[in-house]
Structure 1
Amino acid sequence: MAGAVLAAVLAAGLAAGCTASDGPGDDGRGSPRPSPTQSREPGGAKSPPALAVKIDNAPAARPQTGLDSADVVYAEQVEGGLSRLMAVYAGKLPGSVGPVRSARESDLELLRQFDRPVLLFSGAQSKLLPVIDRAPLEAVTPESDAAAFFRNTARPVPHNLYARPERVMARPPGEAALTTGFRYGRPPADGRSENQLTVRYPAARFTFTWSGSRDRWLVSMDGAPAVTPEGERLAPATVVVQYVTVRPSGYRDFLGSNTPYTETVGSGKATVARGGRTYEARWDRPAAADGTSFTTRGGAPLNFARGQVWVVYAEAD
């Protein structure tokens, strides 16, 4: 029996770029601890922060649940050239979200722009766990709050762990929690008419196709339409391709593959897509606690369209 379980875990890791198997959560085991977010029940003095969830993006994890409710979806490269998603919620909380997967070192830098966000994840490389504990966020895992998670028995492990956000915070935090630095408003006067935008990782692909009837970008992943469990297309209003440095981190997965580190502090080029047009832009995030600003080639602030934003981190040339 133990040999069969180990074989299944190894196969899942090869398919999904899983982190080290000695991290908590991905196997559903562990001793419950008090939730770090219980102080955010009604009557507490502090309003809730943004909720971030690390979401699986292996083919076996699709269609994901709750992505359509996110205010911002970040896509990043992980081991083997595959991808993972980070969904951030403020305006509303879905009934469930997932599949939930493991955290990475670069997630901590990405989330510094929010004021002590709540991060739901399952597992991490063992040497990274103390770093997560020291980070300015509130970590929620199956070990710390078992009631916030459940397994969907219709899906294979490890692609079947889901979270219940309402078990973590009593109400949506509200738009003020989105301290991303994004601006919303009218588009620039220039731009190029564009019907499709594609970002390629070594072993993953994102394509965004403009739909004039929906006034949204329809998402495809690895050549297949990205949909909700009900079959509705995922369709953000704004898509950002942010060109960043992707370098080796100090961590490896259980197969020995190095975990990429996506640098989100600094500056560089970006492409912003909205309204069926693309705009060449520059992004700037001076420090980890700052949001990310986007400007046109002329230096003017570049506004996003109201609605969901997808940010795809692409490796700069």
Structure 2
Amino acid sequence: MKRILAFVLSVLMVLCLFAGCGKDEEKSPNAPDVNGDGLNKNEVVSGPINPLTGEKVSEDKSDLRPYCVMINNHPDARPSVGLSQASIIYEALAEGGITRMMAVFNDVDGITVGSLRSARPYYISMAQAYDAIYIHAGGSEQAYSDIKTLGIDNMDGVRGARSGEASSYYRDQTRLSQGKNVEHTLFADGSKLASFCKNNYELKHDSSYDNTYGLSFAEDAVSQCTSSSADFTVYYSYYNTTFKYDADKKCYHAFISGDEYIDGGNNSSIDLANVIVLNIPTKTIDSYGRQAMELTGSGTGYFFTGGKYVEINWTRADRADNFHYTLKDGTPLNLSVGKTWISIAPLDSTKGIVFNG
């Protein structure tokens, strides 16, 4: 009899357990909202980020010095390779009215970049804002003088004579076979660049260095903007760059002569979360058309994100300082998380920037 009673009680307990499993649990008002993957949706996810973009990364490299790579923008050099993997892209006027780019990478290991172009003093100044290692192929005599006197850590694909330096660069045989001028065919193997720098330079910032680079990011950065423009053009000279906002992808794409900039290495678009246009005093200094730019002091500009824009101010105390961006009332500017294109627009350009829509 006792055995039968025990069996009945056991069955009742099991039935109660199953009944409980079928009910929705009543949540406490303070219980965290957990989604299907077990993560708390309201919790701020911590972890390493790329300080140049604000994006989450799997490995913390925030204490490593970036690489600033000179990129050719001549029509025969397009499409460039590696731009879609850059964190920040600078575009500024060079000789002949054409622009040249400097791509800022958090790391170049495993990335092919090119075609490579020569150094100019103002690009060296931009690279100094990041305590970066400067990658170039040749340079003006003033640029070489600055590299020497300022002690710029660099790799040169033209005059570089150290072991592993020039051999990190190579000519693209496909482009040569297409009849491209040889000066537009020089590329670099990012893994070899990284290896050379590891053997020749200190890869980490000094412990006292501000590795935020003066940048801050926010999910609601667009709330700072006061006007709308989904299509605008920055005028340099003969060559001009148009930016169009893709509302579906929530990013900007850059165009030149009606053609979109595409990364020739992976045929992908260059998705930009931010575009910054800086009005910079610029002048021609010799018969070759070389430029000089005032990249320290203060000035004005525009910040674009989310199809909107706002006027900004910029300041920079000296060449070793970061660029600091603020709204007109002095409030520090927040960028949207993602890549940034920085246009160095000549202050005396007849058109400057035109809002197309």
Contact 1:113–1:179 (CA under 8 A) maintained in structure 2: no
1:8-55 per-residue CA deviation (whole Å, 9 max, x = no partner) reads xxxxxxxxxxxxxxxxxxxxxxxxxxxxxxxxxxxxxxx642111100
* Residue matched to 1:153: 173
AA partner of residue 76 (structure 1): A
Structure 2 contact 109–193 (Cα < 8 Å) conserved:
no
Give the counterpart of 1:221 among 235, 249, 256: 256
Residue in structure 1 matched with residue 116 of structure 2 by the alignment: 100
1-structure distance, mates of 2:137, 2:256: 23
Residue 313 of structure 2 is matched in structure 1 by 282
Q: Distance in 2 between matches of 1:129 and 1:174?
A: 24
Which ranges in structure 1 are unaligned for 5 or more consecutive residues?
1-46
Amino acid at match of 1:64: S
Q: What's 1:55 paired with?
A: 71
- Inter-partner Cα distance in structure 2 for 1:303 and 1:136: 32
2:216 to 165, 171, 183: 183
Secondary structure in 1 matching 2:122: helix
Unpaired stretches in structure 2, ≥5 consecutive residues: 1-62, 349-357
How far apart, in 1, do the equivalents of 2:301 and 2:253 lie? 20
User: Matched residues, percent identical?
Assistant: 25
CA distance in 2, matches of 1:84, 1:183: 26
The answer to whether the Cα contact below 8 Å between 1:194 and 1:278 also exists between their aligned partners in 2 is: yes
Q: Is the 8 A contact 1:52 1:86 kept in 2?
A: yes
Distance apart, 1:93 and its partner CA: 4.2
Task: Write the distance in 2 (CA, Å) between the matches of 1:86 and 1:295.
Answer: 23
Residue 130 of structure 1: aligned partner: 145
The range that moved more, 160-169 or 71-80, is: 160-169
- Which structure has the larger Rg over C-alpha atoms? 2
In structure 1, distance between residues paired with 2:290 and 2:258: 25
**Of residues 232, 241, 256 in structure 2, which corresponds to 1:197?**
232
Match of 2:268 in 1: 232
Moved over 6 A (4+): 171-177
After superposition, what is the alpha-carbon deviation per residue over 1:191-234, rounded to whole angstroms, capped at 9, x for unaligned?
Answer: 21211121011111111100011111011123211111243222
| 2:336 aligned counterpart, secondary structure | coil
The change in CA–CA distance for 1:279 and 1:218 in structure 2 (over 3 A counts) is same
Deviations 1:144-197 (A, max 9, x none): 312211110122211110011211225997999865322211324442121112
Distance in 2 (alpha carbons) for counterparts of 1:162 and 1:262: 27
1:49-108 deviation per Cα after TM superposition (whole angstroms, max 9, x unaligned)? 211110000111111000011111000101111100000111564520000011111122
For the Cα contact (< 8 Å) 2:124–2:143, is it kept in 1?
no
For residues 178 and 278 of structure 1, the distance between their equivalents in structure 2, rounded to whole angstroms, comes to 27
- Give deviations 1:267-307, integer Å, cap 9, x for gaps: 11111000111111111112211111111122211111111
| Equivalent-residue separation in structure 1 for 2:280 and 2:288 (angstroms) | 21
Higher relative contact order (CA 8 A, sep 6+): 1
Alpha-carbon contact 1:207-1:220 (below 8 Å) kept? yes
- What residue number does 1:71 align with? 87
- Cα distance in 1, alignment partners of residues 93 and 294 from structure 2: 11
Q: Distance in 2 between matches of 1:240 and 1:52?
A: 18
Mapping for residues 287-302 of structure 1, pairs under 5 Å? 287-302=318-333
Q: Normalising by structure 1, report the TM-score.
A: 0.77
Q: Which residue of 2 aligns with 1:38?
A: none
Aligned length: 265
Q: Report the counterpart of residue 312 of structure 1 in structure 2.
A: 343
Q: Contact (CA 8 Å) 1:90, 1:174: kept in 2 or not?
A: no
The 3 A distance-change label for structure 1 pair 178 and 240 is farther
3-state DSSP of counterpart to 2:304: strand
